[in-house]
Structure 1
Amino acid sequence: MNTTNQSTGFPGIWKLKSITKSGGEVHTSMTHLVIYPELLWEYYPDHVYYEGDQIGNSYSLNWKDGIGHLEVATGRGRSFCYFVTVDGNSLRMKLGSVFGDFPKDNGDGEDGCNIYRYERETDPEFITQLSHLPEKLPVLSVEHPVLGRLIYDSNYKYWETTLSESPFEDTVLSIHVKDGNLPDDSFFDAIVETLKKLSLDEVREFAGEQLLELKNESWLDEDENELTQQDFTERLIQVETITYNTDGSLTIWFDDNDLFWGHGIAVELDEHLNCTEANI
């Protein structure tokens, strides 16, 4: 349930002016945050952001001592958590550095948090354009005997499904394509064969080789002992997402199981299924 106090001026159409993290800054005026009383979403030029039954994300916003505590639902039982301040036509949102947690404070220090600064949009034509929900598009989907029901996302040009067979139970598979043309069965069959050849044990071992030193140097809890590589790899239980590219390369995303305080672990593989890079 949304608990926004309308007097705060939070709802509206906001133009992104900067993103700051650890002293670096990226400027853009092409991205907008559209905030309704019950939902919000980001607008990018040439992206549709509306197909199927839902647009945007629901949110809750509670104010305490002039700071809004904003939780934006992800649809998977967790939320992005921000501190929000509104000053007239300026909006500042600070995202917690750990997924699902609020920032430790609302300052501008180098604490690993992204800080988003917006200005209220003043272009009347643009305001009119974004003051109503975009046109709903039909969902393009296909059924595959192994991959299940794949749904096409026209915003980002990828097919997505949730796998159900071992060892990828509850893993989201995203297949990036160049256009929205319906691939033939052989395209999806080839992906099934690729997944059969994929050795998760090798991927886990590679992640441990690449990230164990980082874990032990910078990401140990106060009462946590240094991990061995076996300790590290045994924590990589759940594959959350597999991103498949049309050239055959993959990215495997693991739930970090609190190795890096909630940050996902990504391992990239080339078209021959050789591991090439691991990062958080």
Structure 2
Amino acid sequence: MAYSNSLEFLKMIKEVGSVQLEKQDVPARQSVPARQPVSARQTVSVSQTVPARQTVSVRQRVPQRISLDREIKNVDSQSKIAVIDTETNWYNEVMSIGIALADADTFKCIDAKYFIIDPECRKGGMYSNVLNIVEKLTTSIVTRQKAMEDICRYFKEHCVSSIYAYNAKFDYGHLEELSDFEWFDIMRIAAYRQFNSFISPTSEFCKSGRLKKGYSVENILRMISGDSNYCETHNAVYDAMDELKIMELLGHELNSYDCAKIN
């Protein structure tokens, strides 16, 4: 092919070079592999993994099924305490008093006394139907004055200087004749998670550590004995023996109740 002039020839060279460049294989852009997913089992971190803060809690005790028979043990005790319970009539007068005498070290019941107060018992009360259910114990039906004289004499004979009761303010408030003794509240130990390791950590608590509900004698004794069939009788002497059983099963030494003193 002839070209008329040098300008046409240069134009042809330029066009041919352009076509050749277009025909060259241009490698496709290499694909960058997607980011590999991290296995759930792998720990990816710059520094050592720090475990989450552990929850510190008192280990809950699991109760063994324990017999709640009300027994009096023949124990040679050098130091004794008394657990007391009262029942009142419709007029908020004391109609019965129960006492469980116990060894101060083991909290075993070593004796018991039961008084029905006359004439207050004749006026009727919520638990009048269980006033006379006591067996194997002598029931004294006496005036309040006579009952108080006998109780004070009984405590003196056994060198008892401290009285324990569940929700002790109630009994203390109804037995002013016994105000010279030191009184301690079993409930202040039994109803608080700081002292009762049988309490479930999922229970509802007040800021003080006390259970918000479910801390009656019946609730607590079911909890720590493993006996879900236990029912409180609301008979003064049987209840006193049951409240003593709470002290025994909790297993605290007597000085643990110093914080539960009410007078």
Q: TM-score, normalised by structure 2?
A: 0.24
Q: Which has the higher strand share?
A: 1
- RCO higher in structure (CA 8 A, sep ≥6): 2
Q: Which has the higher helix share?
A: 2
- Bigger Cα Rg: 2
